[in-house]
Amino acid sequence: MSLTLAVASGKGGTGKTTLAVHLAAWYARSGPTLLADLDVDAPDAGGYFPAARPVAPDQPVEIAVPEQDQARCTACGACASLCRFGALVYIKGMVTINPVTCKGCGRCVRACPAGALVESPVRAGRVSLALLPNLALYQGLLTVGDIRSTAVIEAVKQRAVDPAAALTIRDCPPGATCPTVRAVHGASACLLVAEPTAFSLHDLENALRLVQALGIPVGLVINKAGAGQADPRRLAARYAVPVVAKLAWSHSLAEAGARGQLCLEDPAMRRCLGDIELWLDGFKPKDAP
């Protein structure tokens, strides 16, 4: 049975991507593994795998945006009244369309009684694939200036599927907003990465509430332990969330991360990854190897 692990965080900079790429490399040592970089505003997981072989071409992610046929439009305003995103506005007998804020749901097109709206594809981003032995790296990249990150996230999720892979790891966007919801949704389990700072704890609570509302089993990893005074363990206890692993602050690990280097032989990192592996084993069927 294949497991999907979402790696997320309440705020950026806690070490979420660091953990995701190390887990991917850790599991790839023993079998096929998928890593999906869903932080599509700024994907950087690929920087840790410079030897990965790109599989060309990248696949575009397109949104079906409505265009108006002025000759057929009766200016009834039905389309604008149904738009939840403010992409269609009805003012003084005229309908205007903002293609930037349109999410491509198609509701307006189906509702138009005059058939005055037709859909036209607009590129929101792209999905790339690069390969290493036992590791497939999917990355989504949002088009510069676009805001429809959820469409790109969903496209990566749909492509990053391999029944032979024992584990799929999702490097999710930070926060507790729509992109995070889309990235975490459907995962077998979720790890939230936090650091011992007040800022991290504030946003961690929002992320905890989000993941628990989705009904996804969640565990906490404390990164940079000892580098701050705040205690994520208290918040974890309040929400009955296990602290799965801790990784102490290390200048050498921080330096390696800044260079995009993996540290699988570092003793502290190995302990952290081993603790996470033990936790994930609890989600496998009893007859699984």
**pLDDT of 288 over the 80 cut:** no
Supply the pLDDT for residue 283: 87
CATH architecture of 70-115: 2-Layer Sandwich (3.30)
How large a percentage of the chain has pLDDT more than 70? 98
Predicted local confidence at residue 285, as pLDDT:
66
Q: Is 160 helix (H, G, I), strand (E, B) or coil?
A: coil
Q: How confident is the model at residue 92 (pLDDT cuts 50, 70, 90)?
A: confident
Q: What is the mean pLDDT of residues 210-218?
A: 98
pLDDT average, residue stretch 193-201: 94
The predicted model gives 98-109 an average pLDDT of: 94
Percent of the chain exceeding pLDDT 90 equals 93
Give the tens place of pLDDT for each residue, 31-90: 999 999 999 999 999 999 999 999 989 999 999 999 999 999 999 999 999 999 999 999
Residue 287 has pLDDT above 60, yes or no: no
CA angle 90, 96, 100 (to 5 degrees): 125
Where does the chain hold its CATH 3.30.70.20 domain(s)? 70-115
Q: Is-contact 40 140, C-beta < 8 A?
A: yes
Closest CA to 96 of 117, 114, 113: 117
User: DSSP states of 201-241 as a string?
Assistant: HHHHHHHHHHHHHTT--EEEEEEEETSSS--HHHHHHHTT-
Q: Where in the chain is the domain with CATH 3.40.50.300?
A: 3-61+126-281
Contact (Cβ atoms closer than 8 angstroms) between residue 103 and residue 87: yes
Q: Can you name the CATH fold of 3-61+126-281?
A: Rossmann fold (3.40.50)
> For 125-153, what is the mean pLDDT?
97
Burial class (CB in 10 A: 0-12, 13-18, 19+), 255: exposed
Average pLDDT in the chain = 95
pLDDT at 1 over 70: no
CA distances, 250 to each of 120, 223, 234, 254, 279 (Å): 51, 10, 23, 6, 24
Would you state the pLDDT for residue 56? 81
The pTM of this model reads 0.92
Q: How far apart are CA 175 and CA 24, in angstroms?
A: 22
121 pLDDT higher than 90 = yes
93 — pLDDT class (breaks 50, 70, 90): confident
Residue 17 has pLDDT above 90, yes or no: yes
